[in-house]
Amino acid sequence: MKYKIGLDISGGDFAPEQIFNGALLARKEFADELVLIGVQEEIEGQIRKHNLDIKDFTIVHAPEKVGMGEPPATSVRKKKNSSIAIGMNLLREKKIDAFVSCGNTGAAVCGATLQVGLMEGVERPGIALVIPTKKGISLIVDVGANIDPKPIHLFQYGIMASVYSQMVLGKENPSIGLLNIGEEECKGPDYVRAVHKLFSATGVNFTGNLEAKDIFSGKCDCIVCDGFVGNVALKVSEGVAETMGKFLLDEIKRDFIGKIGLLLILKSLKRVKRLMDYSEYGGALLLGVDGIVIIGHGRSNAMAVKNAVKVAIQELKHNVNSEIKNSIDKTSNDPKVKQMLGELAL
Amino acid sequence: MKYKIGLDISGGDFAPEQIFNGALLARKEFADELVLIGVQEEIEGQIRKHNLDIKDFTIVHAPEKVGMGEPPATSVRKKKNSSIAIGMNLLREKKIDAFVSCGNTGAAVCGATLQVGLMEGVERPGIALVIPTKKGISLIVDVGANIDPKPIHLFQYGIMASVYSQMVLGKENPSIGLLNIGEEECKGPDYVRAVHKLFSATGVNFTGNLEAKDIFSGKCDCIVCDGFVGNVALKVSEGVAETMGKFLLDEIKRDFIGKIGLLLILKSLKRVKRLMDYSEYGGALLLGVDGIVIIGHGRSNAMAVKNAVKVAIQELKHNVNSEIKNSIDKTSNDPKVKQMLGELAL
């Protein structure tokens, strides 16, 4: 089956060029149809630059742009003709099957929640990201959608991440870990301890608290945290990788022998860089929305855009959202969970 | 002037051996007196193992031990004869000038707060850690003492870190950055935005929000955050460094040329490892306590212990706490801060 994927051409640090180039890569690789949403003239300009025929592209004109630093709520309220607003509307009206944007994350989360709406029973959307680990890949959620977390939010993130992990990432009975500052049950802020209780009350494969040093060790398939902490964890890891790389190059270049050594390991260094590169893993998923929304990194290049489109297609093929709905429904009606939520007075 | 430094011989993953070995290194390097606090027989056993004379050591017997995973409040209440409890009492009674422990962090924070007490005007202690950055070193606070933060706590962490940074780390007019998920003032949870307002109202060198990717870039001299987020940030960085190291070695070892390259850059790799190694920077400071308490990493080896003792001596030499008291006093009485605290209803 062919899907229609909406792509926000105006969003991202390197828009429109890198986003459009990503669309070209995606066209080559996938049979699905792309709907390019952005400023008509800009998109046409990109098409002409590549000596391609405008008739071969589906374009939806979105005259307004949401800046990367713009307050999300304002942009959603005031810019009804932004690429994000128009993309979300197309998704709600089922004129596209999924929407991919590398633009303002907050605006995308806000737009998805207000325009597309959440699945029944889901309280807050969460951004889930696939990350490389020592043992392969894991899924971490939330990395920035929700900075005002309640226990039920994090609990549902775990349930949703587990379904995705199983259906798309091919993990059998995926384990769920709760990001915390210690492994003991008694550790952490009140709301995190409440999440521990909720997971423990259900039949999911909950492995308890996970310390941040183990995020990249592959100890858990799904890592659950709030959006503030998750965002910090993710961005720290980018910073550390960069700093370590710089330290290493500086040190190696200090002597002649090191420089020769560098030449010999260059291929390995590039492979490691690729291994740790977010763009290889595509965009992040906005879990909990009643439609498929993929959020690319603001710094996405063409390859990252193409991979974000790929993630959208995979979600559609596996019909993930319908299974997520079932799981949310099942846990919402689980008497143990209901009792626990009552006890916690959430 | 010679100082008396109390050292918790029972605390830490590699206690008592590595702690005692650290004491020996410190004895060699510094003229100050060490007071070894721990189980008498264990300490004497270590001394005999090195064929040294028991008469040359000052030992204070502390028969009880606090486990690394033990709930802090319980240990403080129940184990009055633990090395941490006895150390804190010696500090309060000014029988030692500083206390160094690599044991249970929570118990040390609890013990310091309850037994030694906080400086007048300080609301919560914070753990400050020196970290390596692209440009040298920075100080991050809090990395785990306070997981129930209020704006005034983070504000005071910044004030205290700034004094330490200036007096001990030799930074002129140190800059203070607030860890947040975006650079814009409007970003982040309510309590973080309130801290932004507090800093902006005073004359400190506040450079605004700092994204987590810049923690290790050296953009700010002092980085302020709550203990949950700070602890996660720190532990993620440990995990990433480890994972990257593993990825790199795995990749390099995949081919023969890489293996030769590895031999040539081995010296550089070791230097980078040392550069990123917490033990080179010594222990963390417990800022806000009315006495000098240094908290070593649980995994401290002898070198880390020695460097933690060094940090204590430096703090004493610079008389940092007296200047921190002045600064806290000054900002507490600043009419702008008072007004802001009133407006925020904190």
Specify the pLDDT at position A340: 86
For B130: left if phi > 0, alpha if psi spans -120 to 50, otherwise beta; the answer is: beta
pLDDT of residue B346: 53
Task: Identify the CA nearest to A125 among candidates A115, A104, A140, A110.
Answer: A110
**pLDDT of amino acid B258:** 81
Question: Which of B144, B211, B252 is closest, CB to CB, to A265?
Answer: B252
Partner residue facing B235 (CB), from A71, A211, A227: A211
Whether residue B184 lies within 8 A of chain A, CB to CB, comes out as: yes
Query: pTM, whole model, 2 decimals?
Result: 0.90
B220 CB contacts (<8 Å, ≥6 apart)?
B138, B175, B176, B177, B207, B210, B214
At residue B278, the pLDDT reads: 61
Nearest C-alpha of chain A: how many angstroms from B215? Answer: 7
Q: Tell me the DSSP string of A216-230.
A: GGTS-SEEE--HHHH
- Taking contacts as CB-CB distances below 8 angstroms, the residues of chain A near B271 are 251
Using the Cβ of A234 and the Cβ atoms of chain B, whether some distance falls under 8 Å is answered with yes
CB atoms near residue A89 (< 10 Å): 18
Which of B186, B213, B244 faces A276 most closely, judged by CB atoms?
A: B244
Query: Which residues in chain B come in under a pLDDT of 50?
Result: none
Which pLDDT score, from 0 to 100, does residue A102 have?
95
* Least Cα separation, residue A141 to chain B (angstroms): 15
**How far A332 CA lies from chain B's nearest CA (Å)?**
28
pLDDT of residue B259: 84
> A280 at the B interface (CB within 8 A)?
no
DSSP H helices, chain B, are 17-29, 40-49, 72-78, 83-92, 105-111, 151-167, 190-201, 227-252, 256-275, 302-317, 320-332, 335-344
304-323 of B, contacting A, C-beta below 8 A:
none
What is the pLDDT, as a whole number, of residue A278?
A: 60
Residue pairs spanning A and B at CB distance below 8 A? 191
How far apart are alpha carbons B88 and B105 in whole angstroms? Answer: 13
Is there a contact between A189 and B147 if contact means CB atoms under 8 Å apart?
Answer: yes
Report pLDDT digits (tens) over A10-55: 999 999 999 999 999 999 999 999 999 999 999 999 999 999 999 9
Query: Is there a contact between B184 and A69 if contact means CB atoms under 8 Å apart?
Result: yes
**Does A258 contact B242 at a Cβ distance shorter than 8 Å?**
no
Q: Which domains does chain B have, with CATH numbers?
A: 1-117 (3.40.718.10), 123-280+319-346 (3.40.718.10)
Chain B: give the shortest CA distance to residue A342, in Å: 24
Closest-CA residue of A relative to B218 is: A243
Model pLDDT for residues A224-269, shown as the tens digit of each residue: 999 999 999 999 988 888 888 888 888 888 888 888 888 888 887 7
Task: Decide: A152 and A192 in contact? Cβ < 8 Å.
Answer: no
| Nearest CB to B239; choose among A69, A216, A242 | A216
User: How high is the pLDDT of residue A279?
Assistant: 58
List chain A residues with CB under 8 Å of B228: 181, 188-189, 229
Kindly state whether B252 is in contact with chain A, defined as any CB-CB distance less than 8 angstroms.
yes
Query: Strand order in A206-211's β-sheet?
Result: A58-61, A33-38, A4-8, A98-101, A292-295, A284-287, A126-133, A136-141, A222-224, A176-180, A206-211
Q: Which whole-number Å values give the CA distances from A149 to A178, A194, A337, B346, in the listed order?
A: 14, 12, 18, 21
Any CB–CB contact under 8 A between A144 and chain B?
A: yes
Contact B240 A242 (CB under 8 A): no
pLDDT at B280: 64
Q: Which of residues 64-83 of A touch B (CB under 8 A)?
A: 69, 71
User: Is-contact A47 A68, C-beta < 8 A?
Assistant: no
Q: Which of A148, A213, A271 sits opposite B239 (nearest CB)?
A: A213
Enumerate the residues of chain B whose CB falls inside 8 A of the CB of residue A238: 213
- Which residues of chain A register pLDDT less than 50? none
How close B1 comes to chain A (CA, Å)?
Answer: 38
Chain B residue numbers with beta carbons less than 8 Å from the beta carbon of A190 are 148
Q: Which residues of A touch B265 (CB under 8 A)?
A: 252, 258, 261-262, 265
CB-CB under 8 Å, B276 with A244: yes
Of B182, B238, B276, the CB nearest to A213: B238
Q: How far apart (Å, rounded) are the C-alpha atoms in residues A308 and A184?
A: 37
Predicted local confidence at residue A280, as pLDDT: 64
